[in-house]
Amino acid sequence: MSDAITPFTLAIPQSDIEDLYHRLDQARWPERETVDDWSQGAPLAKVRALCEHWRRRYNWRVCEGKLNALGQFRTEIDGLGIHFLHVRSPHEDALPLLLTHGWPGSVVEFMKTVGPLINPTAHGGSASDAFHLVIPSLPGYGFSDKPRETGWDIARIARAWAVLMKRLGYDRWVAQGGDWGSAVTMAIGALKPEGCAAIHVNMCVVPAAVQQMFPEATQQEQEAQASLKHYFDWDSGYSKQQSTRPQTLGYGLTDSPVGQAAWIYEKMWAWTDNRGEPEDALSLDDMLDNIMLYWLPATGTSSARLYWESFRSFGGATIELPMGVSVFPRDIMRASRRWMEQVAPNLIHYNALDRGGHFAAWEQPALFVDEVRKCFALVR
């Protein structure tokens, strides 16, 4: 065990890129879907176009260079190597902010927000809006190590993140997340570790018991409940598989770049605020940067395993720390203010926005930055 923090530089061997190209060239494709929409999954023509772009036009080295330029590090916590970005603001009095991604995301979700968050005076804000950023890869994701034992659930990750912030020398900090990042962030809120002053999430799971406290649902709540029903009826098969048989699923995701890409690409369609195509919300290069953080370190299995560890314990805790919530209209789960007030008695910020989806920082970086600034201005 060591508390050392080690600089980390990405330098993917060209042989790994050539292997990817070979696998794409040798892909065995399924027949076309029997419908004219996405109701059977990602359409053959769309996935072939994505993979053609991946093979012929996408350049991994651009993303690799951006990540290296931001500042990457690794440290061991509770026996596991954790990869993280650590980007200091030029404003020394900046507030340390821990950002946690989810599935099927990665640290690249936040890259468009780094500049405005660390250097607000160059992006329409004031020095008092500045943050120092810590952006870890979840265990089993990206370039963090893959757990070799059971027990790496969201509560353990929350404890590890508190250790990370203390190890970096931050004695007062705030935390933010969406998807699994929301679950980890809320676990931090429930844990109330020394130094954490407040949390903010852009997706919040509210227990059914809380919703049932208000039998007369508002229009917002009715729409949220209808969206969640659609999710469980038609969009949650991936989570059932990942929460019950991640190992079996992982053989295909680890061996086939087409399979890994399609598994993620479909969620870019389902969960972004688009007009029918994922590319309405995110560019092909954006999506492939993220897919590469699953393909290159072969995390199809280890990332899915977080569902096996924690899916049944997602949400439910009461948060006593100051908490903010931003609700984006195309997110999977959207909580009303009165629902949130039952979960978070010290709700300091709530806003329902008019555009944006599940990947808030990635899809709507300006709106995301504004929400984060407004929320944490209340605890500076």
Token digits of residue 109: 């979700």
Q: Which fold has domain 5-377?
A: Rossmann fold (3.40.50)
Confidence class of residue 268 from pLDDT cuts 50, 70 and 90?
very high
Mention every residue, 6+ apart, whose C-beta is less than 8 A from residue 331.
202, 203, 271, 356, 357, 358, 360
Question: Strands across the sheet with 323-327, in order?
Answer: 5-8, 72-77, 80-87, 131-136, 95-100, 173-177, 196-201, 323-327, 347-352
Ranges 11-20, 47-56, 197-206, 365-374: which has the least confidence:
197-206
Q: What global pTM score does this model have?
A: 0.97
| Spatial separation of the C-alpha atoms in residues 303 and 191, rounded to whole Å | 24
Tell me: cis bond preceding 104? Omega within 30 of 0 counts.
yes
| Token code pair at residue 134 | 């810590």
All structural domains of the chain with their residue ranges: 5-377
**Between β-strands 323-327 and 196-201, what pairing exists: parallel, antiparallel or unpaired?**
parallel
Nearest to 294 by CA among 175, 133, 141, 137: 141
Q: What tens digit of pLDDT does each residue of 179-233 get?
A: 999 999 999 999 999 999 999 999 988 888 899 999 999 999 999 999 999 999 9
- Under 8 Å between Cβ of 333 and 224: yes
| Nearest residue to 223 (alpha-carbon basis) of 75, 296, 331 | 331
pLDDT in tens, 145-186: 999 999 999 999 999 999 999 999 999 999 999 999 999 999
- The letter for the amino acid at 152 is W
